[in-house]
Amino acid sequence: MSMAAETSVKQAESGQRTAIYVYGIAPADVETTDQAQGVGEPPARVEVIAHDDVAALVSEIPVDRGLGTPADFSAHARLLDATAAAMPVLPLRFGAVLADRQAVTDELLAPNHDEFAQALRLLEGREEYIVKGRYEESAILRELLNENADAERLRQAIAGAPEDATRNERIQLGEILTRAISAKREQDTASLVEALRPLELDTALREATHERDAVYVAYLVDTDKRDAFQQAVDDWAEQQRGRIDLNVLGPVAAYDFVAGRGPEG
C-alpha cells in the first residue's frame, strides 16, 4: 500500500477530513502567488511549509478525494515547472500525501533536511531542458527503404496486393522497419549528444514514447550556458531539417537529475 493510501485509510478511520498534498521541495524563501494553482477542482491554494532553509510546496486536499485525473497530473507538473523557472526545486512523485502540516515537517523536511539542502545547492543556477525530436514519416521511410534492399523488395511485393494475401510480407516489413528505426534512433541520439558535448552538460537519455521518436534527451543547463545550449541545438536541428522535427521544452522541474522521493523517504 502506498503512503498516500495508508494516509487516507488512517484519516478516514480517525474522521480527519483533509490531508496535505506535497509537490516538491524548494529553498525556504520560496513564495507563492495567487496564480499558483494546485490539484483539485476547484484548484487548491498552494502554500509553503518551511523548516530551517528548506520548504515544501503543498496544498490542502479533502481526504476522500481521489487523485490521478489528467488535470491533477497537469497541475502537479505545471506548478513544479513554474517554480523551476525561478529557483531550484526538487520534484516529488505525483500523489505524495501526508496527514497534516506538522507531518510535513516531522516526517519529510526535518529527517531529510541535509539531503534536500545539498540537492538544492547542486541545482542552483541550473535548469533542465528536454530536447525531443520525431522523424518526419515520409522522410524516414524513404531513407530506410533506400538503405535496406529487403525492405524495398517487400514494399514492392505488397504494393497494390490484397492485405490477406501479403500478410507475412507485411509482418516482415514491419519488423525490419522497427529494427531499422531503432538503430537510427541510437545513431541520431549519439549525434546530438556529441554535438552538445563541448558544453559539458549533465545529460540523461529518456526512453522513446513513440515509434517515430528520433531523440529524447534531458540536459541540465547552467544558466550562463543557456544561449550556447540553444544555439548548439538549433545548429543540430538545422542539419536534420526535413528529417527530424525537433523541439526544446523547458525549463522544467529536474526530474531526470533528482532521485524521485515521496514522503515515505
Which domain does 117 fall in, by range? 3-124
Residue 263 is assigned to a structural domain of this protein: no
Task: Retrieve residue 169's grid coordinates.
Answer: 510480407
pLDDT of res. 146: 92
Tens-digit pLDDT profile for residues 183-194: 999 999 999 999
> Last residue of some domain: 124, 146, 171?
124
pLDDT attached to residue 6: 44
> Does residue 100 share a domain with residue 212?
no
Let me know whether 71 and 151 are in one domain: no
Q: Residue 87 domain-assigned? A: yes
Are residue 9 and residue 80 in the same domain, yes or no? yes
In total, how many domains does the chain have?
2
Do 159 and 243 have their domain in common? Answer: yes
Instruction: Please identify every stretch of the chain with a pLDDT value under 50, giving residue numbers as ranges.
Output: 1-14, 263-265
- 94 and 164 fall within a common domain: no
| Same domain as 63, residue 172 | no
Cell numbers 489528467 correspond to 70
Per the domain annotation, does 35 fall within a domain?
yes
CATH of the domain at 153: 3.30.70
Same domain, 150 and 243: yes
For residues 251 and 131, membership in a common domain is answered with yes
Residue 66's pLDDT is 76
b vs e for 51-76, b when ≥16 Cβ sit within 10 Å of the residue's Cβ?
Answer: beebbbbbbbbebeeebeeeebeebb
Together in a domain, 134 and 250: yes
Per-residue pLDDT at 129: 97
> What does each C-alpha distance from 153 to 147, 167, 168, 213 come to in angstroms?
12, 15, 13, 25
Q: Which of 124, 147, 175 is the last residue of a domain?
A: 124
Please report how the helices 226-239 and 167-196 are oriented relative to each other, as an axis angle in degrees rounded to 10: 140
Q: Given 3-state DSSP classes, what are the helix, strand and coil percentages for the chain, each rounded to the nearest 5?
A: 45, 25, 30
Asked whether residue 111 falls in the same domain as residue 138, the answer is no
Whether residue 261 lies inside any domain: the answer is: no
In a domain, 147, yes or no: yes
Same domain, 80 and 64: yes
pLDDT tens digits, residue range 57-72?
999 999 877 788 899 9
Residue 178 lies in a domain: yes
Considering the domain boundaries, does residue 53 fall inside one? yes
Domain end: 64, 97, 124, which one?
Answer: 124
- Residue 194: what pLDDT? 98
Residue 137 lies in a domain: yes
One domain, residues 113 and 131 = no
